[in-house]
């Protein structure tokens, strides 16, 4: 009941008009929406890619090339149309140590190996394990991500500085104060107001694009002195050049890049697969996890050979795309191509866009991403679920997304195991023949094995005991050991024990382990159950 309530309130940003029916034809109107959505995403990608390049300690073009290549390839091959991929902060914070210690060429080698690992994961179809992420973890994940996106935008409220001055951030210098701060906040507010009002007026132009256009026009026409994209870096460049990473092909090089590649691959896949689920909830799509792993891997392999820093799915930009109406692969492809055109031809124009407009867009993404209803249901769901939501949110902000998800899954799994461990119990009765029957109820596994052993009163039980597993299930080696321990105690007491009604999978598990002699014909009603006496030599060593 509580989990159903949680799922009901989790539909935090989905609205019916966001869905695109699978049979909807690709009309001129749909194509226009897809292209404009792609343009909006591309504009938002520029400062993000530049900022993450600064975080990793590489040239801004390394981040922009990654955003273009990863975005293009995953849009074509990915498992979820509508997703946007590119250079991300979660990966950048891992890369910075590698670049600082060994140089950018080792980063390119690590990105290639990262992609190979991700392709392997996809081919092995391991992406399906994302289903094991509980819904409370997803809620905590999106809440934490919304907070991270919000905090990342605060760096734009600093006086712009050079790359060297900024060091590891997108902006350097002191915080804005006085009139510059007021103007910045006013422009951010104007952007958010346009985005909010635009759908009420017309849906011809995506609201985020309208917000950027209006604020950029105001700033340029009135010559308002505010931080602009060009204050972060010069984004002009050529087409990404092909080059094999200039590193020695030795075992020592592999030892250097392999640990980073494994970590980057894991973080990238976790963030991408969670984004895949989130976008799937909004657009009514399912599946594609393993395909997305292959696409992400292929994109990173190519990116490493073209001087990019690698990347993964970007939840913020994916939300912008979905909110702008992008539903097909066209939007993602258009975003990547628009970004490349900015680098090659339109850098002077793009560099004039005020950062306040892009901050306003991202603030609206924060509002739309945060699961506001999760706050309302904290007192209505099981306490462990509420704890997991808060825990994952906190760890996402404190550490990173991958660590938060792993922590949340582990805590949820332990809570589930503990809950099942406390369910083991047994009803008892005595048959007319004088045998005592234990009707075991609940799963028998490592968490409940001790409780199972404690169910039996060996000293006071009669000479014949029957253990009925009709309402139980033997799950693992700990369960086998618990059954063996009970049987050994009854044998030592000179008493006979019978096991009944083992399910087919339990039956196979016990047989495969070599603990039991099985006769499946003893219980025709259940067909797969067993009924036998435990004697010396039947249970491993007894």
Mapping DSSP to helix (H, G, I), strand (E, B) and coil, where does residue 415 land? helix
**Strand locations in 445-542 (E):** 464-474, 496-500, 532-533
Mapping DSSP to helix (H, G, I), strand (E, B) and coil, where does residue 134 land? coil
With 90 as the cut, is the pLDDT of residue 182 above it? Answer: yes
Mean pLDDT of 323-346: 92
> How far is C-alpha 28 from the chain's CA centre?
34
Q: Which range, of 166-180, 342-356, 389-403, 472-486, averages the lowest pLDDT?
A: 166-180
What whole-number distance in Å separates Cα of residue 278 and Cα of residue 257? Answer: 31
- pLDDT > 70: what percent of the chain? 85
What whole-number distance in Å separates Cα of residue 39 and Cα of residue 22? Answer: 23
Nearest Cα neighbor of 356 from 214, 235, 149, 234 is 214
What whole-number distance in Å separates Cα of residue 321 and Cα of residue 300? Answer: 22
What whole-number distance in Å separates Cα of residue 163 and Cα of residue 232? Answer: 7
Q: Which structural domains are found in the chain, ordered by start?
A: 2-14+27-377 (no CATH), 425-533 (3.30.750.24)
What whole-number distance in Å separates Cα of residue 441 and Cα of residue 239? Answer: 66
pLDDT tens digit sequence for 310-334? 999 998 889 889 888 888 999 999 9
Instruction: Name the one residue in this structure whose structure tokens are 């404190």.
Output: 398
Higher pLDDT, 500 or 185: 185
- Dihedral over Cα of 208, 211, 215, 220: its sign: positive
Helices marked H in 223-346: 229-232, 251-283, 289-305, 315-323, 329-344
Whole-Å CA distances, 98 to 91, 93, 105, 242, 253: 12, 10, 10, 21, 12
Higher pLDDT, 26 or 426: 426
**DSSP 8-state symbol, 533:** E
Asked whether 303 and 79 are in contact (CB, 8 A), the reply is no
What pLDDT does residue 514 have?
53
Q: Count H helices, E strands: the chain?
A: 22, 7
Residue 503 pLDDT grade (very low, low, confident, very high; cuts 50, 70, 90): low
Residue 513 pLDDT grade (very low, low, confident, very high; cuts 50, 70, 90): low
What whole-number distance in Å separates Cα of residue 449 and Cα of residue 475? Answer: 10
């Amino acid at each position: 009941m509580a989990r159903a309530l949680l799922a009901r309130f989790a539909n935090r940003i989905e609205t019916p008009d966001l869905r695109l029916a699978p049979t909807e034809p690709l009309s001129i109107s749909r194509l226009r929406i897809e292209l404009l959505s792609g343009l909006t995403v591309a504009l938002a990608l520029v400062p993000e890619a530049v900022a993450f390049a600064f975080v990793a300690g590489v040239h801004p073009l390394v981040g922009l090339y990654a955003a273009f290549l990863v975005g293009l390839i995953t849009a074509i091959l990915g498992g979820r149309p509508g997703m946007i991929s590119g250079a991300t902060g979660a990966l950048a914070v891992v890369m910075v140590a590698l670049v600082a210690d060994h140089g950018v060429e080792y980063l390119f080698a690590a990105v290639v190996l990262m992609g190979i690992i991700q392709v392997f994961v996809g081919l092995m179809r391991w992406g399906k394990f994302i289903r094991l992420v509980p819904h409370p973890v997803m809620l905590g994940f999106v809440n934490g991500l919304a907070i991270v996106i919000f905090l990342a935008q605060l760096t734009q409220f600093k006086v712009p500085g050079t790359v060297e001055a900024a060091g590891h951030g997108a902006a350097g210098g002191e915080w804005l104060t006085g009139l510059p701060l007021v103007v910045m906040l006013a422009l951010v507010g104007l952007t958010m107001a346009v985005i909010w009002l635009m759908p009420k007026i017309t849906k011809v132009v995506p609201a985020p694009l309208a917000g950027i256009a209006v604020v950029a026009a105001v700033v340029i026409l009135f010559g308002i002195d505010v931080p602009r994209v060009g204050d972060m870096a010069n984004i002009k460049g050529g087409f990404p050049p092909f080059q094999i990473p200039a590193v020695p092909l030795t075992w020592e090089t592999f030892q250097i890049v392999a640990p980073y590649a494994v970590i980057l691959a894991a973080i990238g896949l976790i963030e991408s697969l969670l984004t895949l689920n989130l976008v799937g909830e909004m657009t009514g799509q399912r599946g594609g996890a393993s395909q997305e792993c292959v696409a992400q891997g292929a994109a990173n392999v190519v990116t490493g050979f073209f001087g990019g820093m690698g990347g993964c799915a970007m939840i913020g930009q994916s939300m912008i795309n979905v909110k702008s109406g992008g539903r097909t692969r066209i939007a993602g492809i258009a975003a990547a191509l628009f970004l490349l055109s900015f680098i090659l031809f339109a850098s002077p124009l793009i560099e004039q866009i005020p950062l306040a407009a892009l901050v306003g867009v991202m603030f609206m993404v924060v509002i739309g991403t945060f699961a506001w209803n999760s706050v309302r249901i904290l007192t209505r769901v099981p306490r462990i679920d509420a704890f997991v939501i808060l825990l994952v949110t906190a760890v996402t902000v404190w550490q990173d997304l991958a660590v938060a998800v792993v922590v949340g899954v582990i805590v949820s799994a332990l809570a589930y195991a503990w809950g099942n461990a406390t369910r083991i119990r047994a009803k008892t009765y005595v048959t007319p023949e004088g045998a005592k029957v234990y009707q075991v109820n609940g799963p028998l596994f490592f968490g409940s094995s001790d409780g199972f052993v404690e169910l039996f009163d060996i000293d006071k039980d009669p000479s014949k005991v029957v253990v009925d597993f009709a309402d139980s299930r033997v799950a693992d080696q700990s369960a086998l050991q618990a059954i063996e321990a009970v049987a050994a105690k009854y044998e030592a007491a000179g008493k006979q024990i019978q096991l009944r009604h083992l399910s087919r999978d339990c039956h196979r598990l016990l047989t495969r382990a070599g603990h039991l002699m099985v006769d499946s014909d003893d219980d025709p009603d259940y067909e797969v159950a067993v009924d036998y006496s435990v004697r010396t030599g039947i249970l491993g060593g007894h």
